[in-house]
Amino acid sequence: MFTRPASRLDSVAVDKSIDPFPLGLRNKTNLHEDYLLLGHGVRSVTFLGFKVYGIGIYLAEKDLVKVKKLLAPEWLSTFGTENHSLKELLEDPNTSQDIIERLIDNGIRFTVRISPVRNTDFGHLRDGLVKSILAHTKAKELKEPISEGLSELRQVFQGFKGSVPKNHLLWLEFENGNLNVSYENPAKKVIKEMGSVKNPLIGKTLMLQYLSGAKPLLEPLRKSCIEGLDRL
């Protein structure tokens, strides 16, 4: 089960090129809740053979009890067998999406921390998020509302141009249906709130891409988050 970190210095190494990720996020001015690390990984571009960014997914601390109730054995048994563990169901391409969607639809809040391991720019970060959302099956099923939401996301990045050095941070907080985006320069300890996407499909589709399905965006991240949920 998750426990409150002993100090704010408690962290986990995600990649040697960037700062460790804290196990807990407390009193951050750009976030609406305190969060605990659920899982982490490193995104790589396989055909080019290099790493792109480190990523961590955090779960709202106040939602831990609610998550446990939502994933109770009596509900999991509705998938047709009582012999499958939560971990096994989360590893299944079909049931994993149902489980994560249940959490999202019941208001569970998440935050994503993205830290480039090499210098990039806001345009690449924006395009990466757009491509990730478009790659999900919901983008085909709900083409028009997804398209409208992506216009909102592009608008959030409007006015933010230029480079994003490695080890800087992009924050994505998914709460109450909104996807709140902010940027942090850890060297100068400066945080800029970029804006919010009000269309709930954008944050939802992104979280489904990270945590479920036959082709998750980042398999190491998904496996790490499965272990995190299984420990609840």
Domain at 170, CATH number = 3.50.70.10
Residue 58 inside a domain? The answer is yes
Q: How far apart are CA 108 and CA 127, in angstroms?
A: 26
Q: Domain for residue 101, yes or no?
A: no
Could you tell me the residue range of the domain that residue 119 belongs to? 11-63+106-210
What is the residue type of 143?
K
Structure tokens at 190: 């400066």
Residue 41 lies in a domain: yes
DSSP 34: -
Q: Answer whether residue 121 is part of any domain.
A: yes
Count Cβ atoms below 10 Å from residue 123 Cβ, excluding itself: 14
Q: Is residue 73 part of a domain?
A: no
Q: Specify the pLDDT at position 82.
A: 62
- Tens-binned pLDDT, residue by residue, of the chain (232 aa): 454 443 445 999 999 999 999 999 999 999 999 999 999 999 987 666 689 999 999 999 999 999 999 999 888 888 776 667 899 999 998 899 999 999 999 999 999 999 999 999 999 999 999 999 999 988 889 999 999 999 999 999 999 999 999 999 999 999 999 999 999 999 999 999 999 999 999 999 999 999 998 888 899 999 999 999 999 8
Q: Please, are residues 61 and 45 in contact by the beta-carbon 8 Å criterion?
A: no
Calpha distance 221→108 (Å, rounded): 19
In this predicted structure, what is the pLDDT of residue 139? 87
Asked whether residue 70 is domain-assigned, the answer is no
Q: Which residues of 163-181 are buried (b: 16+ CB within 10 A; e: fewer)?
A: ebebbbbbbbbbbebbbbb
Question: What's the pLDDT at 3?
Answer: 43
Confidence (pLDDT) at 44: 86
34 inside domain: yes
Distance separating the N- and C-terminal Cα atoms of the chain: 4
**Residue 94 falls inside a structural domain:** no
User: CA separation (Å) from 168 to 51, 172, 179, 182, 191?
Assistant: 15, 14, 19, 11, 10
Total number of domains constituting the chain: 1
Q: Which two tokens stand for residue 79?
A: 């998938």
pLDDT of residue 10: 92
d(C-alpha 108, C-alpha 174), whole Å: 9
- Whether pTM > 0.85 for this model: the answer is yes
